[in-house]
A = this chain, B = another copy of it.
Amino acid sequence: MADHHAPNLPASSEGAVGGVDGTRERVVAAAMDEFARYGIAGARVDRIAKQARTSKERVYAHFRGKEALYAQTAARELGVIAQATQIDARDLPGYAGRLFDYFTSRPDHYRLISWGRLELTAGDGTSQDAIAGKVEQLRQAQRDGALDPTWDPFDVLALVNQIATTWSAQPEIAAAASEHSDDRSVAAQRAAVVRAVERLFPAAAPRP
């Protein structure tokens, strides 16, 4: 999380009652909702300010601009996801299940990330450190004999992420399945995702 600012960093420019930190936190929370719904180009800073009970000028005092606010919001969200889902390179099916659960119960969080992929240039640094950390864990599992070493760890990471978000990413197939399939419960979607990852990258036996 290279650009992940701690949420409670003190800021030098303000010290009013209610507190800088509170304002900043409210702005990021409001930005989360706004960006998830409208994307970056479609987001309106005045709506964010209003929802955060502050002014547009105050938002710009904290964040250089709308893209910077998005970058901070997305970086924080990526940190929250990583914390909540905890990659385990020895049990990738379990990790895929946690990712599935996370995004299924929080469709707006998946949207937040997806807009950035469409609207920003890749490799802007926001998620590069987090990716490197996960890849290093996968490499270690390969060295430990817990994960098939014939896969490039970047492929492993990309495939697991991708499979875990199969249903978030393809609402049109989910809609078709819900009408025409025998069992399109969330549990059935989850089972398919975990089964696919298990087939590709089976969990290692527990450590002795």
Residues of A near any B CB (own CB < 8 A): 38-39, 41-42, 111, 114-115, 117-119, 122-123, 126-128, 131-132, 135, 151-152, 154-155, 157-159, 161-163, 165-167, 169-177, 180-184, 188-189, 192, 196, 199-200
**When chains A and B are docked, how far (Å) is the Cα of A127 from the Cα of B163?**
21
Which of B41, B131, B151, B176 sits near A39, CB closer than 8 Å?
B41
Contact: B111 with A188, CB < 8 Å?
no
Q: Which of B131, B163, B189 makes the CB contact (< 8 A) with A176?
A: B131
9 contacts between A and B (CB under 8 A): A39-B42, A41-B41, A117-B172, A128-B172, A135-B176, A151-B192, A152-B181, A158-B174, A163-B163
Q: Oligomeric state, in number of copies? A: 2
A166–B157 CA distance with the chains assembled, in angstroms = 10
Q: A117-B171, A172-B128, A181-B154 are in contact. Are A200 and B196 (CB under 8 A)?
A: yes
Cα(A176)–Cα(B124), bound, Å: 10
- Tell me, in angstroms, the Cα distance from A41 to B40 when the chains sit together: 11
**Do B123 and A176 touch (CB < 8 A)?**
yes
